[in-house]
Amino acid sequence: MKKFLTVLLLCLLVSCSARAGGIETVTLFDRQSKPNTSLLIGADAEQIARYCPDGKLKGNVLAFLVKMKGRAILFDTGLPDGRIAAELKKNGFAAEDIKTILLTHLHRDHFGGLLDAEGKAAFPNAEVYVGRAERAWWVDEKKDQNVIRAFAQYAGRIHEFESGARVMPGVKALDTGGHTPGHVSFLLKSGKEKLLIIGDLIHFTGIQLPLPDVAVKYDVDPVKATEARKRIFDYACEKGIPVAGMHIPFPGTLRLKKTGAGYEAY
């Protein structure tokens, strides 16, 4: 009897964890770019020659649709011309199906896709989650009209969260301010799986992985941005958690290991 109960308990545990499921990530490709190395801060000519031999950086813009705990969450929305909505469609998701959008920060390549070509909500049924500090910086302080216009189309559906808070089951916002004052990364956990969605903690992996102290001119506070990059990357290495970044080469996910002063993808 005792053995039977043990087996039953084990079966229940196994089926529960199977139901709890994992994390399925769909990478949504927006575009590629090849900006000039003059965007870099803190790299000398020799380092640039070594890591960017053609004198150009390789950048791209991605968003992620994550399926976990019975929900589909869109992380960031790409630039304003609807390419992410089109990518979603290719993957079998109509814009109306998207109920939850989480934003890492409020640069245009992350929130721009909230609007369609007519300036209306591209995701008519979505609730949008944004960090309180990030919204305050762009809306209250800078009075950024692009952000204000986009959020107006989601009136009553913009939800703020604090850095460090659990935004929804299995999703925690980590304070990674620096690139923008309220920039957050998201730590996802479902079943045994974990994933870090790191937004703009890194822009150009070719040079910023081996030289993580190199910042970019898009960073509002390059020193804090660098500190946040290294803190989260060290954590990802230590815990063996994969990272997904909006500017990491397609498909945008990496596992990291430490190599001397920098990191390597594997």
For residue 227 the two structure tokens come to: 């500190």
Of 109 and 134, nearer to Zn ion (C-beta) is 109
CB of 265 to Zn ion, least distance (A): 19
Helix intervals (H) in the chain: 2-20, 45-51, 83-90, 108-111, 132-135, 145-152, 205-208, 222-239
Quote the least distance from Cβ 92 to Zn ion, whole Å: 26
Task: Pick one of 101, 200, 225, 228: the residue that binds Zn ion (CB under 5 A).
Answer: 200
CB closer to Zn ion out of 69 and 110: 110
Scored b (16 or more CB within 10 A) or e, 214-252 reads bbbebbbbbebbbebbbbbbebbbeeebebbbbbbbeeb
Of the two residues 20 and 29, which places its CB atom closer to Zn ion in the complex?
A: 29
Minimum Å distance from CB 228 to Zn ion?
A: 14
With CA atoms as reference, report the closest residue to 110 among 63, 142, 175, 176: 63
User: Which 8-state DSSP code applies to residue 130?
Assistant: E
Of 144 and 193, which has the nearer Cβ to Zn ion? Answer: 144
What is d(CA 237, CA 190) in angstroms, rounded to the nearest whole number?
19
Judged by CB, which is closer to Zn ion: 134, or 200?
200
Kindly provide the b/e burial profile for residues 73-85, where b requires at least 16 CB atoms within 10 angstroms of the residue's own CB.
bbbbbbbbebbbb
Please report, as residue ranges, which positions from 85 to 114 form the binding site for Zn ion (by CB under 5 A).
107, 109
DSSP string, 133-185: HHHIIIIIIS--HHHHHHHHTTTT-EEEE-TTSEEETTEEEEE-TTSSTT-EE
In the complex, the smallest distance separating the C-beta of residue 106 from Zn ion, rounded to whole angstroms, is: 10
- Nearest distance in Å: CB 59, Zn ion: 9
Note whether 108 and 80 are within 8 A (CB): yes
Size of the site for Zn ion (CB under 5 A): 3
Residues 43-62 that bind Zn ion (CB under 5 A): none
Q: Name the residue nearer to Zn ion (CB basis): 83 or 107.
A: 107
Q: Least Å distance between CB 218 and Zn ion?
A: 7
**For residues 109 and 219, which CB has a smaller minimum distance to Zn ion in the complex?**
109
User: Please, what is the minimum distance in Å from the beta carbon of residue 263 to Zn ion?
Assistant: 19
Residue range at the interface with Zn ion (CB under 5 A); choices 69-77, 160-168, 193-201, 204-212: 193-201
Which 126-185 positions form the footprint of Zn ion (CB under 5 A)?
none
Residues that bind Zn ion (CB under 5 A): 107, 109, 200
